[in-house]
A and B are shown apart, each in its own frame.
Chain A
Amino acid sequence: MTQAGRTRTPWLYLLPTVAVLAPLFGYPIYMLGLLSVFDYRQAQVSGGEPTTFIGFGNYATLFGDPRFWSILGQTVVFAAVLVIVTLAVGAALAVVLTRAGHWPRLLLSLAAMAAWAAPAMTGSTVWMFLFDADLGLVNQVLGIDGFNWFYDRWVTFGVVGATVVWHSFPLVMVMLFAGIQAIPVSVREAAALDGASEWQSFWRIIVPMLRPLITIVVIQSIIWDFKIFTQIYVMTNGGGIAGQNSVLNVYAYQTAFGSSEYGLGSAIGVVMTLILLVVTLFYIRALHRTGEKL
């Protein structure tokens, strides 16, 4: 193969992917960006008023709104906690899976798959019923009839967070379990012979060997948890008492579709996309710095 052919060939292989990704991702993002610089409300959509270009007006409105900043902060903290808890639960159960006998493993897998398969809407509704103040199973078992789990901001975030983790830990568990299975048994045997404890062999052997996998899982969890919508929207009836449990995605939805401020809603979408892009880039960079390649 010639020198020119060698540099061109990889691009040629990428072409089909580009052909699919460019329209599927490029166009919506382009439209999102375009809408965000227009004064675009319901009246403009249905032709009642002309559409006007307002530059960064929507962004100025957004950044000048203290509510946006408090929701952004709330979303970041909530997502961070969710990522950590999901990872901890998923990793712990992955290790349990490698140790468990045939039947417990099957049961645990089935339970996890069921949680994974449950649509976010159904799962949230079922959890909401479980924690219902008057008729919920949780209150009946605990004997605290009438306790409203969705009254205090942090208790509400706790219940909703548990639902989100319940929905998302199975993927982490399955991926890490597969990763652990791929580690040659001899490596762990050697560690055990050298006197390493379970804890040590997890942190010193499994984690370093699975680093690329963990990175992928972390990025995916961050993206998922940062974009959390259904659980908050369903369980707290669109943001909780006085909007105390709102997150960025719910806020964007309510702004864009509830208030018909499509331009402003798009601006929130653009800000979210940029934040997630930065997070992803940061992780890829961190990965390269440690010398590991994805």
Chain B
Amino acid sequence: MKILNWAAAGLAVLALAACAPSTAPQAGGGDEKSGTLRVWLYEEPNRAPKEKVVAEAVKEFTAANSGVEVEVSYIPTTPARHEKFKGAFNDPASAPDVAEYGNTDLAEYAAAGGFADLTADVRAWPEGADLGADLLGSATVDGKLYGVPWFIGIRALYYRTDVFDELGLKPPASIEELTSTARQIRAKKPDMYGIAVGGEYTFGALPLVWDAGGDIEKLDSPESRKGVQAYTDLLKDDNCPPQTCASLTGGKTVELFAGGKAAMGILGNFSRSAVDAGPAAGKYAVVPLPGAAKDSIAPAFAGGNNLGVLKSSAHRSLAVKFVQLLSGKTYQTKMFEAMGNLPTLTSARDALAAEEPFLKPFLDTVAAGTRFVPIDPAWVKIDNQKVIPTMLQKIATGRSTVEEATTEAATAVNAAFGRS
């Protein structure tokens, strides 16, 4: 017996030595017309309203498609989501049919071959024509559309009207005015930050870089450096001391503004409910984040989430139908009412703009032009290696000059793209 065991173990070792690390089986997927449709949606800080709208959609969907059940699960938006998605790609048996994902994660997922190409499905969908070209572009890799943009998130400048009135200030119309206003507030109200900025707030810093004519792929260009300088000038003792602010993420700056500890903040339309729940409620207004030139608007990052169909899905047409239902005008509008999610369909957005004055600064920002991160798996790497936060933090803490930090960051970006 023992000899047999050893022989078996030896054979197993030989077999293992002969092959490369394993690769997930290529599942072609299928097109069953009944069964359970599994859907992954992002977890939210206040999930109840989202859950309600989704439940409504599910009800409508199951009524129209007999023999179909929809099982919705909510997945965390922490970096652990990457593990979850990778797990789904590696093991089709535990993968959903439909999934919501952040549009910055798209390139990584597309390269992994996880999502199905929906180009033809969206072209055949009447409401598909209502999606702007910029938006479709942010869901496209190498000419293939890997998801339907579900909503967009745009950041603008929130400011405290009570503080501005008390100090006789006007909302800033340029970056220079923004900086001086922030310093004045901090000088007169030392327990407040002029504008809450964070060393880990990539999407707070990028608009200034883009406005100066810089870009993520050329962080060491003179234009990029100018933008980086403008942002890190705010990470100083006279506005937001690096001791506290160097380690802040975007979410933490929202907390500071919502908590009444900052007079301004770069917050998204999706942060409105968080602000309304805190002491700053009813005492704030929003304007577009200004650029360097007076009365210009700094290009915002066009964040948002897409709905995609997994390549391994066994219910392809059902999954596409469900995606089209959720991202159709009716449910996009309902999602806006429930969550404040800005619709991706132009007609839905226009209808809301007419009746919702809160949206004006955000829509003005969209109209002025938005920007996006590189649609390349390299972006996920750049993001995970915290290249941009590291650059901002090194400058904010005074450990590097703007030149040194941007040169280093540019090298890291090039390395992520596989260029040297």
| A181 on the B face (CB < 8 A) | no
Number of interface residues, chain B, beta carbon within 8 A:
37
Please tell me if the beta carbons of B113 and A254 are within 8 angstroms of each other in the complex: no
Q: Is the interface of B mostly helix, strand, loop or mixed?
A: helix
- The chain A residue sitting closest to B395, CB to CB, is A242
| B187 on the A face (CB < 8 A) | no
Please tell me if the beta carbons of B246 and A241 are within 8 angstroms of each other in the complex: yes
Closest chain A CB from B114 CB (angstroms): 6
A-binding residues in B (CB < 8 A): 9, 16, 20-21, 23-26, 79, 82-83, 86, 89-90, 108, 111-114, 199, 242-244, 246-247, 377, 380-381, 384-386, 389-390, 393-394, 397, 399
| A148 on the B face (CB < 8 A) | yes
Please tell me if the beta carbons of B112 and A30 are within 8 angstroms of each other in the complex: no
Please tell me if the beta carbons of A45 and B24 are within 8 angstroms of each other in the complex: yes
Please tell me if the beta carbons of B23 and A47 are within 8 angstroms of each other in the complex: yes
Tell me which of B16, B26, B86, B390 contacts A42 (CB under 8 A).
B86
| A56 on the B face (CB < 8 A) | no
Contacts of A242 in B (CB 8 A): 199, 389-390, 393-394, 397, 399
**What bracket does the count of chain A residues touching chain B fall in?**
35 or more
B-binding residues in A (CB < 8 A): 22, 30-31, 34-35, 38, 40, 42-49, 51, 53, 133, 146-148, 150-151, 237-239, 241-243, 254, 257-261
- The chain A residue sitting closest to B92, CB to CB, is A46
Closest chain B CB from A215 CB (angstroms): 33
Please tell me if the beta carbons of B380 and A34 are within 8 angstroms of each other in the complex: no
- Pull 15 A–B residue pairs with CB atoms less than 8 Å apart, ordered by A: A22-B9, A42-B108, A47-B113, A49-B111, A146-B243, A238-B386, A241-B246, A241-B393, A242-B199, A242-B389, A242-B394, A242-B397, A258-B82, A258-B385, A260-B86
- The chain B residue sitting closest to A30, CB to CB, is B16
Our count of residue pairs bridging A and B at CB distance below 8 angstroms stands at 96
Closest chain A CB from B29 CB (angstroms): 13
- The chain A residue sitting closest to B244, CB to CB, is A148
Contacts of A42 in B (CB 8 A): 86, 89, 108, 111-112, 377
The list of the 5 closest CB pairs from A to B, nearest first, reads: A48-B113, A258-B384, A46-B89, A242-B393, A46-B112
Most buried by B among A133, A237, A259: A259
Tell me which of B25, B243, B380, B384 contacts A151 (CB under 8 A).
B243
What separation, in Å, do the CA atoms of A148 and B244 have in the docked complex? 6
- The chain B residue sitting closest to A133, CB to CB, is B244
Closest chain A CB from B236 CB (angstroms): 15
Please tell me if the beta carbons of A38 and B386 are within 8 angstroms of each other in the complex: no
Contacts of A261 in B (CB 8 A): 381
Please tell me if the beta carbons of B20 and A53 are within 8 angstroms of each other in the complex: yes
